[in-house]
Structure 1
């Protein structure tokens, strides 16, 4: 039994108990409920959906019992995206609203396919973008990726990979696994992770799939790596026992407090547990004794004697220190109650004889906007809430245990560029505060440049020595590389060291050539620049857009004579120039040598001198 999921179900019970005792929300009206266990199975979820949609009498119930209930008015659930998708397809034709507390697939925001679906947990569209920005923020350009082979994992990872590509992040591998697939596939995924060179791995996995993967990796642990997790597992206490994930970082639903809920969980007697099959199973599995044996049923376990103490248990059911998804169930239940209140109540007066249709509840859910325990609840046009996440870090505590520590936040409602905030130190997989490095190739040092490796991502390259005549002055990352021709005072063929620079030539400050030089020498020097600089730059990487320049670029020598002598209008006008195209293009050196190479150097010099003399 999944004790954490049982806590979710108990949160619905607790919320309904509060609502039924409230004098402000649905006063005088009693809500009832049915709880079904889908066992994380799509076929079971479909079976339950048919029962809820068709199995109950279409009558209005005005009694105090839910045993003879009318057709269901709203659904809270399911926890998984794939079961929720199947359920929504069945409920939508009947207009029955479904409010999920844990189904995060971005696909469920499509109101054409899932018109009656709502959720209190954010869409993975926001989480994927937040994960990509975080990876970029910490400078990781070489990562691995693993996902659940389900709607949750496949859609979430697709959104992440798209966002990561836009951020310039390269992915070494992307693997998928689902818990019902053959063990051989799990072993293959684990081997890919062990052999990888990326030190950071993004895991968009459901909790059950993550547990199986970590169990497999634990048999032959890979080198230490930095795990980046999705909300499905990164705040699951059951995963904390795996030391492989110490230092993990990921986005989780904000931690919350539900007053009175811890005592409600513990206030459970054997007699109460016998009334609900799920609670009976929980009691017997927790204390290894049989409640049913007291009523004549034999289970092979000793009978419970009444000395069992829930407060002595330490399991996900009794652990209320991390109420995250539990609060999503709580809010979903209250959202439905507020929708019902809007239908049958005016202020504090409610008419319990009004017959309510599911579509009325659906329409009212669109208008829901309230706060409970300082948490606001509302839905946008897609049925989604505002996306707010805690940035959670798995930190080693003084007693040797591992705990979730909130170190930052992501709020999608903030202005662009201000969504992500970090307010505490992160301790990484090696126990230090120093951000780990994960790149395919290190930045090229002064005197070298990058050469992309054939057949590999652009993040992977070799550093080779710069060619003669290429100069710059600092070490940079691959996406900042700039090329510049050598300054005029450096002799051609010089063996002096050359560098790389991230500053575009338009920002350089080379000194202009002396104005006392003879005019003829100045013209030939300028001509030499025009001929040689493009040849040096012709094999350079594509140049990013830059403002047009009246003469090649300010980084070239600027003579003191009139511009019309050095570059007359016919040469600067791309529509008139028969040789050089175009001098007013997007780059600092946007010359094309395809026409120049077909014209002899001597012919070009003669043509230029002829035009210069004609301009005098």
Structure 2
């Protein structure tokens, strides 16, 4: 809509100039003729260079009769606006101050032409055209249309709407226009508005400033209310875009305030505010819209909200009433930068009117101010301009006795922007006039000259101007014509006596390196809550360390659930989107906020199971030693000699090795223990089983030798053959172990498969085949021993050891057959415990079954340990 409006307006202006030119050419081929006068309300001062200004000195206009039965009259203005007049006087003061400054624009006097735009587009447009075509009185007196325009730059307009329209036309001629109050972000388009500048930040920065405040207090959940106009809708689009881009927050609701007093719609909006969990309400609207809203807020008694005001109503006095302060107290708002202008009050007090309008063409605006302030009138007064009534003005009235906002210079905000705008134009002109011939920026390295000054030349220097105000604010324009942005942060302080004070509590500015920078004095902020602290306004509370955020379906991104991290993952930050896995040797603590070293687990000497198994191993070794001692001591007794004492001693020694090798399975696995444990276990048990197998074969050989013609069997299986057989069978196992160790040696291994939060130290086989061959070879020998012993169990003999061997091998095989499935299914260090238990059980089984009965006879029944008894048993059987 704005683009269409601007296009139509531009066409109208061009058509106006075209038909004016055609008419003048037909009537006056060699000269131009003035077609009419605008009769604008203004104030002027002559100078070498003239600056123009457009200010809202009146609020309203009266529309003339447009019946065209007579010459149409121009619109007249009424409703004097003191603050608008003061803005014009600020410009006059700044120019007067510059003229007195010998360092800025030396030997150059600035003048001004300031026009009243009546806060209306048509009148403002007339003023702009008059400024760029020369001073109005010169045109009237000389009827001259030739020569360069004396106004090289314009300060204004205050409205974005008027600035858009005027700068669209002035941009065609590159006449610089510096606005002090137009905030629309659309004016940053340099293609459409190439000569537009402003000393007030755009709405885009105001939105970012608000987001900085939201971020500072952790308010991620807020409601948004806007006025139903371009200001509100543009601000809403900008706010939503910035929130989406920055990810700093979400809108709980978004409502458009009605223009009229639509009670039902306002009531619906207030109900939305009541039901929402958002405690912060952002409002981009004018005070008239908010008055309607606050009436309903008071009716429903909606308290506990933190209001955030846009620049449009931050300082609205009409809202700062005792009735509204229970609800609006503590409001935070964005305001134009406050500044100090030394000497301004003295300048304003020197203002004096001209007693007669006839002789006061350049002072008409001052007379109107005087009439409004002192409620008097000058005579004679032209119709339509009289603001006062009653007595005649003398011109000697005392301004210092007047109590109004005109002389209040404690809160200069738009005025400070006017002050900076004038100085920006002055510094740009000064830079241009200081140009050295031959080093200029224009074609042929030329410089701009005062006598042939063109407005477009000033645009070049405006884009590069950089100065600091007496208040310490840096003024420069970026590539879009925007000033270095800075806003004050205001707070509505509710005093104990019920009065209100809007105090400055900080500022938001853009830093070259830090971006938007918020500075707040939180100790000064008044919070309208019982705890006197900032409220919490979030859809979901922050996820603490150890949890991660999971978005709720069909809800804004600020609404989420906090899910604990799974085992083995942690997050040590708040509001994490995902958890991080711990390193291999670490595991998550119960709170899931940091990784701790995993517990190490192995069959240790320090735990009860390890202690019991180690003690049992040592006990078995000790018993073997005791039995060996008994057998050695009684080695010449018949029962020892009858059962091949040498093989018995070898069997006892091998059993002792079997008991001792189980100790290699206890303790933290190391390379040497992993390589030695299974080799020692395999060789020890093969040695043991080989001895038993040979003993069984000896029993069978003795039986055959006792038969007629069987003596040769014992001859071929004598002592040397027995030793050789044991050695041969054992060497096979040694070869198997060597091959295994060389090809794929067992190594220490950190197993995390059994329990994720623990590291189980174990010995990896390296080659499962090697372990299976080792174990299988023992099983084959054991099975052969069992089979031969079983066949020889009933052989007639005085003390047949085959029965004991059969029973012992039965126990041995049963233990190791049960060992395999139990070992495979046992987790972690229990696998080692199962193997140790199998070693000890089988060793104790052999020890008890083979040597228990003999020791019983030797110790408890020595009378049976005689050759006669043993031979007698043989004869009896």
Asked whether the two chains share a fold, i.e. TM above 0.5, the reply is: yes
Tell me the residue number matched to 1:119.
Answer: 198
The structure-2 alpha-carbon separation of the partners of 1:415 and 1:104, relative to structure 1 and needing over 3 Å to count, comes to same
**Whole-Å separation in 2 of the counterparts to 1:415 and 1:134:** 19
Q: Residue 362 of structure 1: CA displacement?
A: 1.2
Tell me the residue number matched to 1:439.
Answer: 538
Q: Give runs of aligned pairs for residues 61-460 of structure 1, distance below 5 A.
A: 70=149, 72-165=151-244, 166-177=246-257, 181-184=259-262, 188=265, 191-196=268-273, 197=276, 198-206=278-286, 214=294, 222-235=302-315, 239-241=319-321, 243=325, 244-269=327-352, 271=354, 276=363, 278-287=365-374, 289-292=375-378, 295=381, 301-303=389-391, 309-344=398-433, 354-373=451-470, 374-397=472-495, 399-413=497-511, 415-416=513-514, 419-425=517-523, 426-430=525-529, 433-442=532-541, 454-460=553-559
**Whole-Å separation in 1 of the counterparts to 2:765 and 2:311:** 66
The structure-2 alpha-carbon separation of the partners of 1:140 and 1:155, relative to structure 1 and needing over 3 Å to count, comes to same
**Whole-Å separation in 1 of the counterparts to 2:250 and 2:758:** 40
Q: Choose 233-242 or 376-385, whichever is displaced more.
A: 233-242
**Whole-Å separation in 2 of the counterparts to 1:142 and 1:394:** 22
The structure-2 alpha-carbon separation of the partners of 1:222 and 1:319, relative to structure 1 and needing over 3 Å to count, comes to farther
- Name the one with the larger helix percent: 2
Q: Give runs of aligned pairs for residues 37-56 of structure 1, distance below 5 A.
A: 37-53=116-132
Structure number with higher relative contact order (C-alpha < 8 Å, ≥ 6 residues apart): 1
**Whole-Å separation in 2 of the counterparts to 1:564 and 1:125:** 70
Indicate conservation of the 8 Å contact 2:155/2:177, yes or no: yes
Q: Residue 131 of structure 1: CA displacement?
A: 1.6
Q: Residue 107 of structure 1: CA displacement?
A: 2.8
The structure-2 alpha-carbon separation of the partners of 1:335 and 1:211, relative to structure 1 and needing over 3 Å to count, comes to farther
Indicate conservation of the 8 Å contact 2:474/2:484, yes or no: no
Larger Rg: 2
Q: Secondary structure of the equivalent of 2:116?
A: coil
**Whole-Å separation in 2 of the counterparts to 1:87 and 1:6:** 21
Q: Choose 473-482 or 251-260, whichever is displaced more.
A: 473-482
**Whole-Å separation in 2 of the counterparts to 1:296 and 1:148:** 39
Q: Residue 483 of structure 1: CA displacement?
A: 9.8
The Cα offsets for residues 276-311 of structure 1, whole Å up to 9 and x where unpaired, read as 555455444444x23246759787942256686544
The Cα offsets for residues 310-356 of structure 1, whole Å up to 9 and x where unpaired, read as 44544433321111221110010111122223344679xx9996132
Indicate conservation of the 8 Å contact 1:471/1:499, yes or no: no
Q: How many correspondences in the alignment?
A: 514
TM-score (norm 2): 0.50
Q: Residue 134 of structure 1: CA displacement?
A: 1.7
Indicate conservation of the 8 Å contact 2:552/2:561, yes or no: yes
Indicate conservation of the 8 Å contact 2:226/2:285, yes or no: yes
The structure-2 alpha-carbon separation of the partners of 1:164 and 1:352, relative to structure 1 and needing over 3 Å to count, comes to closer
Q: Residue 434 of structure 1: CA displacement?
A: 0.8
> RMSD value over aligned CA atoms?
4.8
The structure-2 alpha-carbon separation of the partners of 1:38 and 1:191, relative to structure 1 and needing over 3 Å to count, comes to farther
Indicate conservation of the 8 Å contact 2:207/2:235, yes or no: yes
Indicate conservation of the 8 Å contact 2:543/2:576, yes or no: no
Tell me the residue number matched to 1:533.
Answer: none
1:5 maps onto 2:84 in alignment: yes
**Structure 2 gap ranges (5+):** 1-79, 437-446, 583-588, 605-664, 670-747, 767-823, 826-877
Indicate conservation of the 8 Å contact 1:122/1:385, yes or no: yes
**Whole-Å separation in 1 of the counterparts to 2:290 and 2:148:** 40
1:16 maps onto 2:95 in alignment: yes
Tell me the residue number matched to 2:867.
Answer: none
Q: Choose 509-518 or 240-249, whichever is displaced more.
A: 509-518
**Structure 1 gap ranges (5+):** 486-497, 530-554, 566-604, 607-616
**Whole-Å separation in 2 of the counterparts to 1:49 and 1:102:** 16
Q: Choose 448-457 or 37-46, whichever is displaced more.
A: 448-457
Q: Residue 436 of structure 1: CA displacement?
A: 0.9
The structure-2 alpha-carbon separation of the partners of 1:30 and 1:83, relative to structure 1 and needing over 3 Å to count, comes to same
Indicate conservation of the 8 Å contact 2:113/2:135, yes or no: no
TM-score (norm 1): 0.69
Q: Give runs of aligned pairs for residues 456-471 of structure 1, distance below 5 A.
A: 456-460=555-559
Q: Secondary structure of the equivalent of 2:348?
A: helix
Q: Secondary structure of the equivalent of 2:556?
A: coil
Indicate conservation of the 8 Å contact 1:227/1:245, yes or no: yes
